[in-house]
Structure 1
Amino acid sequence: MSQQKSDYIDEVDVDESWDEHPSRDELEETVENLEDSGFEVEVVEDAEAALAFLQDEIPAESSVMNGHSTTLEEIGFMEYLNEGDHDWENLYGKVFSIDDDQARADARREAQTADYFLGSANAIARTGALVAADLSGSRVGAYPFAAKHLLVVAGVNKVVEDVETARERLHEFAYPFENERAQDAYGVESYPAKELVYRQEGTEGRTTVVLVEETLGY
């Protein structure tokens, strides 16, 4: 079942100014600094364009895995991965078809090395860094090294001034939403236990940040 931020908006007490969009100049500054940090950057108009970019970017027969991402749900990627017409190896579907908890955890760990791993960030610093966290590390574990290629999809509402502000957005805004989602989905509370500040990519072409000019995710 697709989960969106709007499903939890009445359950959390947050400052909605964290979802404000950057100015055009601020967005251009962000793109320039991300590229200077070694990231590929694609700016797209909306969710439909973001999905189309991912469909074109991932070659046929590639193994594809993702960490949980409300943004990927909202742009329709999860539905397309699980039900759409593609020639990818859907590692996500394989992993979560396993009934045994230990075997599923082992498969999930192995899937971190997918040809293409997809996710989002909790915040993006205009200085050219990504900030993301999760409880288990099953998402951010693939980001720095394990995955062959990484595709990070984020609405421009996640762009903030610097890394310090990005970490504030993670803890003050994104975490309350994720905590509600985790309780709804898994019956347990979440916590940003494993936090990644991704300041630079040293492998050319490995990591692409897809910035969507809409409010997406949290």
Structure 2
Amino acid sequence: MNTIKKELRKSDILSLMDTLSKKNYNPIYAENLEEAKEIILNLIPLHSSIALGGSVTINQLDIIDTFRGDEYHLFDRYNQPDWPSTLQCMREGLLADFFLTSTNAISKNGELIQTDSGGNRVASLLWGPKNVIVVCGINKLVDTWQEGMNRIKEFVGPLNSKRINHKTPCNISGVCENCQTKQRICNFTSVIKSGKRVGNPITIIIINEEVGY
């Protein structure tokens, strides 16, 4: 049964990939996390500079330690001594050769929907790095961009707030309360309707598994 379900999901992914191609994205299919990791390593030449968006999906790829090696230059937001250094690292990452991240949702109409706390992912998707690679699990595919927004509000926001322990109402209640607290996690939102950008088109790797939040 799982094989049948995976084949049906693959059909949905291939249909979405056709839509994404028509909207100037570069979509790539991956069967699983391991295949996605291999695709990314093939896309990023050795000695490239790489920046990261905060992402459970990217952590699950088990690829960051590879980028920490001598063959790449990683703007390592996760390995800084303090918050000001982390901010500076993310600012410098806007000039990276590659920006690797995930998204909160992709609609059937080929729209990427994402909300940030600090905004570096939203900013980097739109402008800065020469190349953008977005990695997305099947669980993030939605019918409309409005449904993507609801997914962020009802599911992704509260989970991420708890994950990074922001002192927000949704961390406790598990429900978005549209707070205005200092550590509010949903501050910057973008809906991207075309993969065309200054630099190369956005590459989207869609994994036929549930990955990330």
CA distance in 2: counterparts of 1:195 and 1:145, whole angstroms: 14
List alignment gaps of at least 5 residues for structure 1: 1-19
Matched, 1:207 2:209: no
Matched, 1:43 2:29: yes
CA distances 1:129-162 after superposition (whole Å, capped 9, x unpaired): 1111111102221001111100000101111101
CA displacement at 1:112 relative to structure 2: 1.7
Matched, 1:123 2:118: no
39, 42, 47: which one pairs with 1:56? 42
CA distance in 1: counterparts of 2:95 and 2:65, whole angstroms: 22
Contact 1:26/1:126 (CA < 8 Å) preserved in 2?
no
CA distance in 1: counterparts of 2:59 and 2:45, whole angstroms: 21
Amino acid at match of 2:102: S
CA distance in 2: counterparts of 1:65 and 1:119, whole angstroms: 9
CA displacement at 1:101 relative to structure 2: 4.3
Contact 1:60/1:88 (CA < 8 Å) preserved in 2?
yes
CA distances 1:107-130 after superposition (whole Å, capped 9, x unpaired): 321212210000000001011111
Question: Superposed, which structure 2 residues align to 1:42-191 within 5 Å?
Answer: 42-82=28-68, 87-92=71-76, 97-99=79-81, 101-183=83-165, 189-191=183-185
**TM-score after normalising by structure 2:** 0.82
CA distance in 2: counterparts of 1:67 and 1:59, whole angstroms: 19
Amino acid at match of 2:13: L
Percent identity between the two aligned chains:
23
CA 198–205 in structure 1, closer or farther in 2 if over 3 Å, else same: same
Computed over aligned residues only, the root mean square deviation of the Cα atoms, in angstroms, reads 2.5
List alignment gaps of at least 5 residues for structure 2: 172-181
CA distances 1:44-80 after superposition (whole Å, capped 9, x unpaired): 1000001111111101111001011100111212233
Q: Which residue of 2 aligns with 1:217?
A: 212
**TM-score after normalising by structure 1:** 0.80
Count of residue pairs brought into register by the alignment: 194
CA distance in 1: counterparts of 2:29 and 2:92, whole angstroms: 31
